[in-house]
Amino acid sequence: MDYETLTTKVKENIAYITLNRPDRLNSFDIKLGEELYQVLKNLAPDNSIRAVIIKGTGKGFCGGGDVKEMHAAEDKPQFLRDLTIAIHRCVIEMRTMEKPVIAAVNGAAFGAGLSLAIACDIIVAVKGVKMSTAFIGIGLAPGCGTQFFTKLVGYQRACEYILTSKIFTVEEAEKLGIVNKVVDAEELDNAVEEFASKFRKLPPIAVGKAKMLINKSLDNDMISHLELESKTASASASTDDFNEGVTAFAEKRKPIFKGK
């Protein structure tokens, strides 16, 4: 299927999504929100897909919400309501799908673009790239990302970066625990492929359930989360992949997981 605002491809069980509005730094308009959501929704139940990679075309990863469209909107409050809901649907789909989502941050990630990146499970970024929550700088209360950002960096740091629209580099983001790996521009695709190659070989059901548990752990109390872990481990023990994993361990060979 062809899209107006992004491109997609699947290669060896990995789905690649490229935001494709380079003239606007791949910023979100309603159309991009709708199309990205549709792609993510289609990928989520597809058991052949082991991981999803999101990247931007040109100089930016995602410049946030399209400020020119905000300016042009006749009903600005309604436009922001519609736009943030469109972005939120994408974020929810990314966090709830039981497969890893990797951000390949090739360029600037501002506002909703930063929120999109930190909604991913793993972030690989190019050296020197700038990031910012950005919303306050245009007189706008943050429309997304405050919860993820605060849980990543802590309350005081979140106030510093969000309330002042502080611009920071991915090197600083790595120290804050936001970014997993920083690489030269020409190394970005290879660095992302290193993660992709791992997920091609790992057991996808177990990986997906582990992601679910990590996300639930952010809000669950200890006792209920331990119970969820126990039930999830028990359920995963019924899979062919678990049988293959323990058999391979006993036979001292590498397992071959098939996602069943």
Is pLDDT at 12 greater than 80 in this prediction? yes
pLDDT, tens digit, 9 for 90 and up, residues 49-69: 999 999 999 999 999 999 999
pTM: 0.94
Is pLDDT at 219 greater than 90 in this prediction? yes
* Structural class in CATH, domain 203-250: mainly alpha
pLDDT, tens digit, 9 for 90 and up, residues 70-115: 999 999 999 999 999 999 999 999 999 999 999 999 999 999 999 9
Average predicted confidence (pLDDT) for the chain: 96
* Structural class in CATH, domain 6-200: alpha beta
Average pLDDT for 30-41:
97
Query: Which runs of consecutive H residues, i.e. helices, occur in 44-73?
Result: 67-72
Per-residue confidence at 1, pLDDT binned at 50, 70, 90? confident
Beta bridge partners of 183: 126
pLDDT, tens digit, 9 for 90 and up, residues 167-189: 999 999 999 999 999 999 999 99
Domain limits, the chain: 6-200, 203-250
